[in-house]
Structure 1
Amino acid sequence: MFILPNNVTIIEVGPRDGLQNDKKQVDTQHKLTFIRALQGAGITEMELTSFVSPKWVPQMADAKEIIAKTQHIGRQFVLAPNAKGAELALEAGVRSIAVFVGVSNSFNEKNINRTTAKSMEALQAVIATLKAAGVFVRACISTAFYCPYEGKINPEETLALCHWFAAFGVDELSVADTIGMANPQESYDLFKTLKEELPNVLLTAHFHDTRKMAMANIFAALQAGIDRFDTSAGGLGGCPFAPGATGNVATEDVVHMLDTLGIQTGVDVKKVCEAVQVIAPYVSRSIDTGMYRLFLNGQ
């Protein structure tokens, strides 16, 4: 018999992680309508946008406007990859900020031109500033299982990076299977160890569905005691620095699975699908998740 949590928190990452690398430039008003529809579906934790250079991520150039025009229901995150981004987020009045580092040196060098160690050195002062300002800090751990350049990651390296962030005082760790190569045993083992070693840090699992293993990995993480999951409405997203990586696991599919298991999320699957329908005409990829397809067919 499986021991599963009674309640799970869904952290919606579609407006940021889902849209930031889309080939189409999505109008600000469409993003806001999408965000409001997701909030109407019961989502209380969400990545709204990212304070990054518009030169590198033009999709997020409207970050300040998104923050100003979004009703902050529950915990609404922005991504701030460096000191400048954090400064801009604080000026915009953001109270929950995410930072990120990959376990893999190669991934970090391709992504932000720094090794993992150098990235952490730079983030230590950023996190200290954010915590001093009373901000909730979320640390996103990329390539926690596999790297597109280095292959399988030693779990001890992932654990060490998580402990490093915990020592900096972060409130949450979002641990990601960035290229969707993890299997359920690896998911269970890593998250079980993290639960045991870091009992005072919120732990969130973030799975990509590249090899259609995300749902199995989520079920394994549930058994390991994880009750927080990053998901993306419509399965939107991907990683430009991870060749072959597809989108995140779809919010509507995860919530449906949890519903059938009797696990409460407070999220309405139909309303999530309605939110997907809002954004679908404005993104480059075709959305064909299980629950969204059924929704379009009136089922």
Structure 2
Amino acid sequence: MSGLPMTAPEPGLPERVTIYEVGPRDGLQNEATSVPTAVKAEFVRRLLAAGLPVVEATSFVHPKWVPQLADAAELMTGLIAELGDRARELPVLVPNERGLDRALDLGLRHVAVFASATETFAQKNLNRTLDSQFEMFEPTMARALEAGLDVRGYVSMCFGDPWEGAVPVEQVVRAGTRLLDLGAKQLSLGDTIGVATAGHVKQLVAAFSDAGVGVDRLALHFHDTYGQALANVHAGLQAGVTTYDASAGGLGGCPYAKSATGNLATEDLVWFLTGLGIEHGVDLAGVVGTSHWMAGHLGRPSPSAVVRALATT
């Protein structure tokens, strides 16, 4: 089997896409057991070597809530010692001002905050109401911006919520624009339980455009729970979005949907984009090898279809 698909460009799609790799943070935080810090560091190094332009390394969240990432400071300190400024460019999630303090102490330059588009998930994940969550983000984002950091905003449950069901598009736009108004440079719209479909994706992107938010400020974050992730990427490309979150090997899942198969796999996205002739700068063989290596450490095969196909050929 060939290591790359035949290229057949489709008119009207973007010429280049940025793949925002979230495996070391969003992927590993969902693992049942903690991965050793040295393995995490090697994971990040391998992803960078494979050409991923952005690798989100970890989260400075309280260890009580995400014990899998309790070693965030140790991980980043080691990466800085080895990679210097390159490591300081790796984004990290900061849930509050305490998390931001840790990022600032290490001289990191890119942080992200994680909001909800729904009332129930804001309560369950942040212990806040849909509106009051922004009161928590405001001082964190203001201090980050004052320090010259770049801030990304995540919005979860943009396409559906396991408790509330369908989420009104205008509700998602209100939540997203509030993060942008607080200073987020980019907004990642998350299909947390994987229920989005192509038409819904186009509708949501169009609604943000109608609200004055350009597609250049949007990123899309899909899960492949119902096998729709790449169809949704295609819809996003048709709408002009050029940044897509993905996780090497499809690591990560959703604890709220028992059938969730995890994040969109980086390898599946790379294969798809390559077939369309869209530039991305990522070495597919390098990412496949990395995911195969990590699957060995996790003791289970990768859920990525492309990893399964290429790692056995």
Structure 2-normalised TM-score?
0.91
Between stretches 50-59 and 239-248, larger displacement belongs to: 239-248
CA distance in 1 between counterparts of 2:73 and 2:87 reads: 17
> Among 121, 135, 144, which residue is 2:158 paired with?
144
CA distance in 1 between counterparts of 2:110 and 2:191 reads: 23
The two structures, once aligned, show a CA RMSD in angstroms of: 1.6
Amino acid at match of 1:58: P
Q: 1:77 to 1:37 in 2, by over 3 A?
A: same
The residue aligned with 1:232 is: 247
Verify the 8 A CA contact 2:265 2:304 in the aligned structure 1: yes
1:192 to partner: Cα distance: 2.9
The residue aligned with 1:21 is: 30
The residue aligned with 1:12 is: 21
Alignment of 1:207-226 (within 5 A): 207-226=222-241
Verify the 8 A CA contact 2:54 2:90 in the aligned structure 1: yes
Between stretches 182-191 and 67-76, larger displacement belongs to: 67-76
Matched, 1:169 2:183: yes
Matched, 1:103 2:117: yes
Amino acid at match of 1:87: D
Verify the 8 A CA contact 1:77 1:98 in the aligned structure 2: yes
1:145 to partner: Cα distance: 1.0
Q: 1:108 to 1:285 in 2, by over 3 A?
A: farther
> Among 262, 271, 277, which residue is 2:292 paired with?
277
Q: Percent identity over the alignment?
A: 41
Amino acid at match of 2:235: A
CA distance in 1 between counterparts of 2:174 and 2:89 reads: 27
Question: Residue by residue, what CA displacement relative to the aligned partner does 1:25-69 show, whole Å, maximum 9, x if unpaired?
Answer: 101111111111111110120110000111221111111122122
The residue aligned with 1:154 is: 168
Q: 1:206 to 1:175 in 2, by over 3 A?
A: same
Q: 1:184 to 1:107 in 2, by over 3 A?
A: same
Verify the 8 A CA contact 1:23 1:284 in the aligned structure 2: no
> Among 114, 123, 145, which residue is 2:128 paired with?
114
Runs (5+) with no aligned partner, structure 2 = 1-9
Amino acid at match of 1:259: T
Runs (5+) with no aligned partner, structure 1 = none
CA distance in 1 between counterparts of 2:90 and 2:149 reads: 12
Amino acid at match of 2:120: S
The residue aligned with 2:207 is: 193
What SS class does the counterpart of residue 147 from structure 1 fall into? coil
1:8 to partner: Cα distance: 0.2
Q: 1:288 to 1:167 in 2, by over 3 A?
A: closer
CA distance in 1 between counterparts of 2:195 and 2:299 reads: 24
The residue aligned with 1:66 is: 75
CA distance in 2 between counterparts of 1:256 and 1:73 reads: 27
Question: Residue by residue, what CA displacement relative to the aligned partner does 1:221-272 show, whole Å, maximum 9, x if unpaired?
Answer: 0000000000001000013355543310000010111001000000011100
**Greater share of residues in strand:** 1
What SS class does the counterpart of residue 277 from structure 2 fall into? coil
Amino acid at match of 1:149: W
What SS class does the counterpart of residue 20 from structure 1 fall into? helix
Structure 1-normalised TM-score?
0.95
Amino acid at match of 1:166: L
1:193 to partner: Cα distance: 3.0
Question: Residue by residue, what CA displacement relative to the aligned partner does 1:106-127 show, whole Å, maximum 9, x if unpaired?
Answer: 0111112111211111111111
CA distance in 1 between counterparts of 2:232 and 2:23 reads: 20
1:183 to partner: Cα distance: 0.5
1:159 to partner: Cα distance: 0.6
